[in-house]
Amino acid sequence: MFPRRFGRIAAGLVAAAAVLTTAACGGSGGTESTDGDVTTYKIAGYLDYSGPQGNRGPGVEATAKLVLDWWNQTKGKDLNARLEFLPYDTAYTPAKTVEVHRRAIAEKNLVGILGFGSPALLGVKEQLEPDQVPMVLSGPSYTFMSGPGWGFGPMGDLGAAWASGVEYRQSTFTGPGPMKVANVTFDGSSGHDFVESADKILAKNPNVRVVLDEFVPTSATSVGINVDRIIAAQPDVVVIGTTDALQPLLLNELKARGFDMSKVMTSSFVSLESLKVLGVAPSTLDGVGEVTPLRGVDTQSDAYKIFHDRASAFNAQWTNQNQQAMVSMFVLTEAIERALAANPDGITGRSVYEQLDAGTFDGHGLIGQVRFDPTNRRVGGPAEGVGLQFTRDAVDLTAPSVSILPLA
């Protein structure tokens, strides 16, 4: 959700900052904070509080602290360790991320970072290894993560989830010819990532034809011209994954134009739950589907129970974005747990990285097992065959119709 030129700006800022601060003061462990026999390690949160996703920062922070509260009371006690969360505001820009990163790595006992959105990783991607601290993203992986690296995306490729949802619809499609698909997202690096990935997968299916890739400016306050193009393309399925601001505009405009809303799927980027919180009327969402690799509707999962038991204490809500953060924190804390078991005398950021690089992680029922490809972070995330949740009932999410199928 940022211009492509940010990559060049961020790279320059990282290089300049590296001259001023060496990796020796970073997340390589150093002297850990101790309280008696308990050692405190720290996780930094590179979140957005003042940028375009600023409304999500507090919820992600609350969720991260909730998971650490659970970990400290359970796993941490057995390991004589405690984890502390340090949130920073990146304003959803690579440049600001570079600034906060220099402050964060001054923490001698920093062993991991929770990053929110692609700017968080793009800003410091090349500095993570020199600074010896891994980042786990709260969200999907991106094209710029291709190859090895110290950044991890537990949600994997969101475009693959989109394609799986489309192919699920195609399995019951009865219309003439290939099923026509319109992909609608925001005009930013992440949006292009999602659509390019989905298009590449769908191009292999002769029964599906992408008739429109629509990119909406993030600053748009009116989407009439975009909806004109969507309707003119006459799609059988419309996948919409934009922003908290754009998603309601697009759905309301489609509904107002009399578009068949049962042809619409929203993505986990802006879930049905989130849309209700944003004030989209149930009548607009009636018939809309949601495609996501998360299993947030399962109130019997360990993840939901962990969250529910602590939600009021941390003022946390069971939203899709917070669920993504919870998955990322499960992965990061499990890597820390394994590092501590392997290194009882103390851990470093590298210790945690080595566990992330080699392991498979428990999603506690919120997502299937998560694993990462050491040679290509782009394809990391949900382990093969964990399935896809496709929720059709937008009006009553307490009793949805759910189908589980392999990822495309």
User: How many domains does the chain contain in total?
Assistant: 2
Parent domain of 117: 6-156+300-375
User: Do residues 105 and 42 share a domain?
Assistant: yes
User: Do residues 184 and 280 share a domain?
Assistant: yes
Strands 81-89 and 360-361: unpaired
Helix or strand (DSSP H, E) at 69? helix 57-73
How would residue 34 be classed by pLDDT, with cut points 50, 70 and 90?
low
DSSP for 206-257?
A: TTEEEEEEEEE-TT-S--HHHHHHHHHT--SEEEEE--TTHHHHHHHHHHHT
Q: Is residue 383 part of a domain?
A: no
CATH of the domain at 46: 3.40.50.2300
Q: Is residue 382 part of a domain?
A: no
User: Quick check: helix, strand or coil at residue 28?
Assistant: coil
Rounded CA-CA distance 112/97 in Å is 15
Contacts of 165 (CB under 8 A, 6+ apart): 239, 265, 267, 289, 291, 388, 390
User: Do residues 193 and 284 share a domain?
Assistant: yes
Q: Is residue 380 part of a domain?
A: no
User: Do residues 113 and 259 share a domain?
Assistant: no
CA 260 to chain centre: 29
pLDDT digits (tens, 9 = 90+) for 168-198: 889 889 989 899 999 999 998 788 988 998 9
Q: Is the pLDDT of residue 4 over 50?
A: no
pLDDT digits (tens, 9 = 90+) for 60-106: 999 999 999 999 999 999 999 999 999 999 999 999 999 999 999 99
User: Quick check: helix, strand or coil at residue 186?
Assistant: strand
User: Do residues 163 and 152 share a domain?
Assistant: no
DSSP for 140-162?
A: ---GGG-SS-SEE-TT--HHHHH
User: Do residues 13 and 131 share a domain?
Assistant: yes
Contacts of 345 (CB under 8 A, 6+ apart): none
Q: Is residue 184 part of a domain?
A: yes
Rounded CA-CA distance 138/323 in Å is 9
Rounded CA-CA distance 377/320 in Å is 23
User: Do residues 14 and 142 share a domain?
Assistant: yes
Looking at this protein, which amino acid is placed at residue 387?
A: G
How would residue 321 be classed by pLDDT, with cut points 50, 70 and 90?
confident
Residue 173, CB-side half-sphere exposure with 13 Å CA sphere: 21
CA angle (322 as vertex; 249, 358 as ends), nearest 5: 125
Tokens, residue 209 = 């034809």
- How far is CA 290 from each of CA 35, 287, 297, 385, rounded to the nearest angstrom? 46, 10, 12, 19
First to last CA, the chain: 25
Neighbour tally for 173: CB within 10 Å: 18
Rounded CA-CA distance 352/332 in Å is 8
| Mean pLDDT of the chain, nearest integer | 84
User: Do residues 64 and 190 share a domain?
Assistant: no
pLDDT of residue 157: 79
Q: Is the pLDDT of residue 337 over 90?
A: yes
User: Do residues 58 and 149 share a domain?
Assistant: yes
User: Do residues 152 and 163 share a domain?
Assistant: no
Tokens, residue 143 = 């094209």
Q: Is residue 86 part of a domain?
A: yes
Q: Which of 156-160, 273-277, 287-291, 402-406 has the lowest mean pLDDT?
A: 402-406
Contacts of 343 (CB under 8 A, 6+ apart): 351
Q: Is the pLDDT of residue 270 over 80?
A: no
Residue 404, CB-side half-sphere exposure with 13 Å CA sphere: 9
Rounded CA-CA distance 408/395 in Å is 27
Rounded CA-CA distance 241/185 in Å is 5
Q: Is residue 381 part of a domain?
A: no
Mean pLDDT confidence for 281-303: 85
User: Do residues 113 and 260 share a domain?
Assistant: no
User: Do residues 364 and 284 share a domain?
Assistant: no
Tokens, residue 193 = 């990532």
Give the full edge-to-edge strand order of the sheet including 381-382.
Answer: 360-361, 370-371, 381-382
